[in-house]
Amino acid sequence: MLTINDFNFKNEKVLIRVDFNVPLDAHFNISDDSRMRATIPTIQKILNDGGSCILMSHLGRPKEGTADKFSLRHIVDRLKELTNTVVHFAPDCIGDEALSLSANLKNGEILLLENLRFYKEEEKGDLAFAQKLANLGTFYVNDAFGTAHRAHASTSIIARFFNGKKCFGYVMANEIANAKKVLDNPQRPFTAIVGGAKVSDKLLIIENLMQIADTIIVGGGMAYTFAKAMGGAIGSSLCEDDRMPLTLELIEKAKAKGVKLLLPEDSKIANKFANDAETSFCNNDVIPDGFMGLDIGPKAIAAFTKEIEASQTVLWNGPMGVFEMSNFENGTKSVANSVASVTQKGGFSLIGGGDSAAAIYQFGLADKVSYVSTGGGALLEYFEGKILPGIQAINDEQAEA
């Protein structure tokens, strides 16, 4: 895996695909700049080598052409503060002005390009658009793991114009190394915890993890589809009836492979989807009509805790309940605590792919686990066993057109 540590960037104009898709408030102030801060070491390495950086990113989901609320100009000042150097801004990511700003860029300086998604060609992976971007630089670095599962112009197609002159930035390299640690060579026992609302979103990941994990723990809303498929009464809990046969297949596959598939035995149930609902506890196969399971119950917590704490490697994707409501956060919090505890005892833990990362921050445990991925959908697809276009584009030498 080639990273920026394998190159010297003196006199190179390095096009870096970054993820500066930061949240902006109503006054265009950045409410969380962690994605920007994460990329600073990559930028600094290139500037310190005596090169310059041309940064490209998307921001939000602009529908049609340009829109000021999605302009990356709002982040220029913050970028100057974080990098302590000259930052130029190209109000169009391609075209004559961008070309001339790039030509005049001095070593040690940064050029930030306007939002790539102002062009529909970006998400379409348009080759001519990718070439126009490529013309701005002499070297390509991908440091945007969050979009690595997309074959967009700036994340994948562009790489074919930089054979021998392309690599991963530190953010990408770190994400890949941590995911590989779990997928390729996990210390055993390896427990994968999968939760969240919908089983349909997680079927592929469960199937793929069955090839690797010793134990798979299933929690959250998706567990009720399993419970109903096995003949249980689940009241008005979340359920995807059309997926019930697939859940039974998963149970059979796990048995055949000798993988322990742990489902929650009980739930905290509620008479409405609200924090002030009337609640009680019951087993997952006898949830009364008019009640829904919104969190795993004490028996499930005890069983999951025991299993997690006996593991050497833990992958966690998806909450155990509606953790956004304080009355239904306990299951997710207990799992988070167990994951932190096993890490403190020397195990390896990787958290990511959406809401479990949010949960680990909510409970203040982010620095007590081994790695919290920034990847969302990209991490999920990686664990589904898919080849990510953003990774493949760097690893493969490709024909130019």
- Tell me the three state secondary structure of residue 14: strand
- Of residues 279 through 308, those in contact with ligand AMP by CB under 6 A are 293-294
Length of the chain: 401
The verdict on 265 binding ligand AMP (CB under 6 A) reads no
CB of 152 to ligand AMP, least distance (A): 23
Judged by CB under 6 A, the number of residues near ligand AMP is 16
State the Cα–Cα distance between residues 42 and 175, nearest whole angstrom: 14
The DSSP string of 65-105 is S--GGG-GGGGHHHHHHHH-S-EEEESSSSSHHHHHHHHHP
Instruction: Decide whether 128 or 286 has the Cβ nearer to ligand AMP.
Output: 286
What's the alpha-carbon Rg for the chain, to the nearest Å?
Answer: 23
* Residue 329 sits in the site that holds ligand AMP (CB under 6 A): no
220 is a site residue for ligand AMP (CB under 6 A)? yes
| 380 is a contact residue toward ligand AMP (CB under 6 A) | no
Active site residue 257: no
Active site residue 17: no
Taking the complex as a whole, the smallest distance from the CB of residue 60 to ligand AMP amounts, in Å, to 20
Parallel/antiparallel/unpaired status of strands 215-218 and 260-262? parallel
Q: Cα(132)–Cα(90) distance, rounded to whole angstroms?
A: 14
**Nearest distance from residue 387's CB to ligand AMP, in Å?**
23
Q: How far is the CB of 99 from ligand AMP (least distance, A)?
A: 42
210 or 277: CB nearest ligand AMP = 277
Among 51, 146, 321, 390, binds ligand AMP (CB under 6 A): 321
Between CA 212 and CA 147 the distance in angstroms is: 25
SS3 10: coil
Task: Out of 36, 238, 388, 394, point to the residue binding ligand AMP (CB under 6 A).
Answer: 238
Q: Is 372 a residue that touches ligand AMP (CB under 6 A)? A: no
354 is catalytic: yes
Q: Read off the tokens for 319.
A: 């909450």
Applying CB under 6 A, does 49 fall inside the site for ligand AMP? no
Three-point CA angle 270, 271, 274, nearest 5°: 70
Contact 45, 87 (CB under 8 A): no
Contact flag: residue 201 with ligand AMP (CB under 6 A): yes
Element housing 252 (H / E): helix 244-257
What positions carry a catalytic annotation?
35, 198, 354, 377
Provide the binding-site residues for ligand AMP, judged by CB under 6 A. 196-198, 201, 220-221, 238, 293-294, 318-319, 321-322, 324, 354-355
